[in-house]
Structure 1
Amino acid sequence: MKPLVLVDIDGVLNPLGRPSADFRRYRCVLEGETYTVHLNPRHGIWLLELAVRAGAELVWATTWEHHANEWIAPRLGLPALPVIRVAQDRPSEVGEMFKTPHVAEYVRGRPFVWFDDLLFSADERYLRDHPDVGDFFLVQIDPKTGLTRQHFDLATEWLTLSGFSQGP
């Protein structure tokens, strides 16, 4: 089965700390609210590279949901990606964050890497205990700095060494 690479935005692609000079500042208007985001164009290149090398499908796992395709993807040179709906409509079962049950339902046994800044042991426990979740690798991102090349290298290594890579 083709592996998935799940991507969050705030704290991952849009660091919450002071961004480095590699980031560009954008003002986005979503449903009447103005947001400032800092995006690094290299992230788009790295994500596409990871997807090709691993034969993986990129998927948004963010509260931006479909707005990610409107505002974030074009600024990073990404095509429109599938979106996991992550409404905050469920109570926690084991202390997992609100996105985790939605991810568990979406993956349907496919191996996946998940880049997020809010992944903790409760999320790992929830995913390991969920019957529809197969192999996965959670990449905890420091929200102050966001995604780094080292995170991509870890994900590539896991997909390759685990035998999930279907790329060239």
Structure 2
Amino acid sequence: MTSAADRPILFLDVDGPLIPFGSSGGPLRAAVSGSSASLDQGNPLLNRLDPEIGPRLLALGCHLVWATTWMEDANEAVAPRLGLPKLRVVEWPDSGSDDEPRGLHWKTRPLVEWADGRPFIWVDDEISAVDRVWVSAQHPGASLLHRVDPTKGLVDADFSALSSWLDAEGAG
């Protein structure tokens, strides 16, 4: 059994994994990722949140951390609808490094730096093979970069994959 201090971090994106885009992902993403003025409680996209996902995320036993452009707004508009407590938020740098490998997601390096060698899971809809290769080479701890289908959001198969990884790492 893993102690609380050794539990893996689960970096969680909002757009796609928690708010699925259905069959038309493009226009909705712009509507969701805007300024905090667009995040009022009347935002119809928030109705796409499945309140059953919050307890399932908590049951994984990870340190949940927002890794989203929603930033602190995720704690205000998303967490309460999922039954999640206020979570820590990854603060993104103003710009990426000029020496980033082609195709590396702009979140990848900051998440590895934030994890600081600890095991982590990153749940996002924009993870690529480039990100997986880079993390494997740059991160000394265990990691799972789990890409979620943005048209469906987190589903049973995703939770099975996360649980299986945690069990294999002795963290489940």
Give the TM-score range, shorter chain. Answer: 0.7 to 0.9
Task: Report the AA paired with residue 7 of structure 1.
Answer: L
- Please give the per-residue CA displacement for 1:85-136, whole angstroms capped at 9, x wherever unaligned: 2345104612211111110110011111111100001111221222x54110
What residue in structure 1 maps to residue 89 of structure 2?
A: 83
Match of 1:32 among 13, 37, 40: 37
Match of 1:17 among 16, 22, 40: 22
Alignment of 1:120-135 (within 5 A): 120-130=128-138, 132-135=139-142
CA drift at 1:65:
1.0
- Please give the per-residue CA displacement for 1:134-167, whole angstroms capped at 9, x wherever unaligned: 11011111111111021111111111122233xx
CA drift at 1:33:
2.9
What residue in structure 2 maps to residue 61 of structure 1?
A: 67
What residue in structure 1 maps to residue 79 of structure 2?
A: 73
Distance 2:151 2:90 in 1: 24
Contact 1:11 1:116 in 2 (8 A): yes
Distance 1:41 1:75 in 2: 6
Task: Report the AA paired with residue 11 of structure 2.
Answer: L
- Against the structure 1 CA distance between its residues 39 and 87, is the aligned structure 2 distance closer, same or farther, given a 3 Å change threshold? farther
Structure 1 length as normaliser, TM-score? 0.82
- After superposing on structure 2, the runs of 4+ consecutive aligned residues of structure 1 that deviate more than 4 Å are none
RMSD (Å) for aligned C-alpha atoms: 2.3
Distance 2:92 2:11 in 1: 12
Match of 2:106 among 98, 101, 111: 98
More helix as a share of residues: 2
Structure 2 length as normaliser, TM-score? 0.80
CA drift at 1:32:
2.6
What residue in structure 2 maps to residue 3 of structure 1?
A: 8
Percent of residue pairs identical: 36
In structure 1, the gaps of 5 or more residues are 19-26
CA drift at 1:11:
0.6
- Please give the per-residue CA displacement for 1:45-65, whole angstroms capped at 9, x wherever unaligned: 1111112xxxx2111111111
More strand as a share of residues: 1
Distance 1:61 1:133 in 2: 20
In structure 2, the gaps of 5 or more residues are 1-5, 24-31
Distance 2:8 2:36 in 1: 33
Task: Report the AA paired with residue 80 of structure 1.
Answer: K
Distance 1:33 1:162 in 2: 39
